[in-house]
Structure 1
């Protein structure tokens, strides 16, 4: 599958994903301002080239909580894989592994976490919407650890559900199948730090929280023993008129001070976007919608193609910016 621009994939995927599925995957909350702003905000950050460095090769490898990656781009959790392609999360996980990176699957995945783990040898994290029933929550966490998942990602911004209007405008509601439950378990909406501690104690795996948008919450996450944070506004799906992730990243990075890794998602469509996020303090970025569009168009090879295209664009950007490795990308490379 030839990719010229990752943005082109959305229109192409719309032709092959059923209307209900595409509406869910591409949907946004409210009027869609936050979803659009996630991408638009990158345009207000520009890159300052640095030439005559004498540098030759570039090193794009990264390390994230002990996992060695070929690129600082991971696959974020998102629903709807099964609506995009028959292989569902198994195809996405395989594509991520072939690209040399990490895949995050979720508690509401189409396939079971065990099926996904068996489909790919690459590193994987398990995202959880914490069930209100502690027994069912513990069971999920124990299964994830037994299946070989290396970390747990707790989504914290699902407290009020979503306010997506796309489904209502198209007069449908999506009920996603789940491979991890024989019957649906109510989600705990009133999350607190005691829930983070519960997960930490239940698995002894690294625990990250996803949905951080403030420096204050980021700093507290460090103090509470979180292994990492994911700066995320849920792709603009849960609540409109919240800030674009790239705009809050610098203050969050300052508050964290390098003590734990920061992953940022939202609006990543080019390698230049990856570069800007790394320069503003992220250790890695996470992508979701472009990967699912790649899955819809080419199965696991489409996923691999999206990731490798972003990697190639990042490498070109690094050469122009005079950065030989990921660690050399800094705010000095930007004009903000």
Structure 2
């Protein structure tokens, strides 16, 4: 999955090469969180802002971020796989549901707090695991984790982050989970699980849908590569263990869940579930949470949206474990409708990356604050005072919608 694309290439347009200096600290093999945090404006054109941003709607962030991001970085974040049908479907699926409001129930306030695997959150939204954030902000993962924690919610670290699990943990004052693409080398997988536990991560998220690189054509049209070739923060430390975080196991099965539970001693959440059958298998395998995801439409195109499969999965899970969904979430209405259909929490991806590019940690915190405020408004208008009171009664299929994808 390695490519020949590096930080220098991130500034190149389809046919114009800009004059730039040597690659910044993210390319250096000895780069640390401290050195990155002290970096000046990044010479390769990757944003390095830290400022407040004003948000009217999270949908505006993509257009604004395109103005400051390098072309390849923006294409990498904004694009999906193939025809990008699934990426569009993720948003369309929400609008097959309408909100049944109860304006006359006397609700005068809304409590957005909730818990997820025993962790209290300021609202039912967490940060999705995202790799290659060095193509978004010169400080890589730091703005996202700091902004998310400042907003009072949970950050999920990707195993293909530009900083190590330990460096990110040292910057994360709030709750954190660790997402693992299981390495081909079981020794490296064991090491990463144990390092995550030692660094204070509270759960392991196993992503199952990246056994090959997908056809991310926006990126490929620019430079012939689907992924940026940035420095990986997590390299083996155990003597005799080799491999890379990008060298992933391509033949996962349910025995891998037991391996992760045993080696980490932590709850394991399976990410990439999209059917009731797989949800039941996850329960049988002892998963502590089920994450409905099609990778933001970035892996296999023409898949169902998580919001489409959520009701059927929730009917199988029956509240036994938390359900998380991601993909296409931009508004408080989206969060509300997901909770009403059985989700415990939702995960944000692209909006937080755009906010990071625009304003660093303050931008990310502003995105969370905006979405939380919008959810509060929706709850009050819909007529419910607490997350736990958002039930299926609050939503109905839109007229003329049969729910089919």
Shared fold, TM over 0.5 = yes
- Partner residue in 2 for 1:33: 85
The two structures have a TM-score, normalised by structure 2, of 0.81
Asked if 1:152 corresponds to 2:152, the answer is: no
User: Secondary structure, in 3 states, of the residue corresponding to 1:46?
Assistant: strand
Asked if 1:88 corresponds to 2:140, the answer is: yes
**Any gaps of 5 or more consecutive residues in structure 2?**
1-52, 237-242, 398-405
Deviations 1:211-239, CA, capped at 9 Å, x for gaps = 00001111111121101011000000001
Partner Cα distance (1:291, 1:23) in 2: 15
Deviations 1:11-40, CA, capped at 9 Å, x for gaps = 111111111111111120010000011011
Partner Cα distance (2:187, 2:365) in 1: 37
Looking at secondary structure, tell me which structure has more helix per residue: 1
Bigger mean CA deviation after superposition, 276-285 or 177-186: 177-186
The answer as to whether partners of 1:108 and 1:178 remain within 8 angstroms in 2 is yes
User: Secondary structure, in 3 states, of the residue corresponding to 1:74?
Assistant: strand
Bigger mean CA deviation after superposition, 111-120 or 250-259: 111-120
Residue among 382, 385, 394 paired with 1:333: 394
Deviation of residue 323 (structure 1)? Answer: 0.9
**Any gaps of 5 or more consecutive residues in structure 1?**
none
Partner Cα distance (1:163, 1:332) in 2: 40
- Partner residue in 2 for 1:223: 284
Equivalent positions of 1:1-336 (< 5 A) are 1-173=53-225, 174-181=228-235, 184=244, 186-336=247-397
The answer as to whether partners of 2:183 and 2:244 remain within 8 angstroms in 1 is no
Deviation of residue 163 (structure 1)? Answer: 2.3
User: Secondary structure, in 3 states, of the residue corresponding to 2:81?
Assistant: coil
Partner Cα distance (2:248, 2:136) in 1: 25
Deviations 1:88-122, CA, capped at 9 Å, x for gaps = 21111110111000000111001111111111210
Partner Cα distance (1:288, 1:255) in 2: 26
Deviation of residue 167 (structure 1)? Answer: 1.6
The two structures have a TM-score, normalised by structure 1, of 0.98
Deviations 1:174-222, CA, capped at 9 Å, x for gaps = 2232111266252101001111110011011000010000011111111
Deviation of residue 171 (structure 1)? Answer: 2.8
The answer as to whether partners of 1:45 and 1:334 remain within 8 angstroms in 2 is yes
Partner Cα distance (1:111, 1:168) in 2: 25
Deviation of residue 272 (structure 1)? Answer: 0.5
The answer as to whether partners of 2:132 and 2:160 remain within 8 angstroms in 1 is no
What RMSD in Å do the two structures reach over aligned CA positions? Answer: 1.1
User: Secondary structure, in 3 states, of the residue corresponding to 2:223?
Assistant: coil
Partner Cα distance (2:186, 2:136) in 1: 32
The answer as to whether partners of 1:24 and 1:80 remain within 8 angstroms in 2 is no
Aligned length: 336
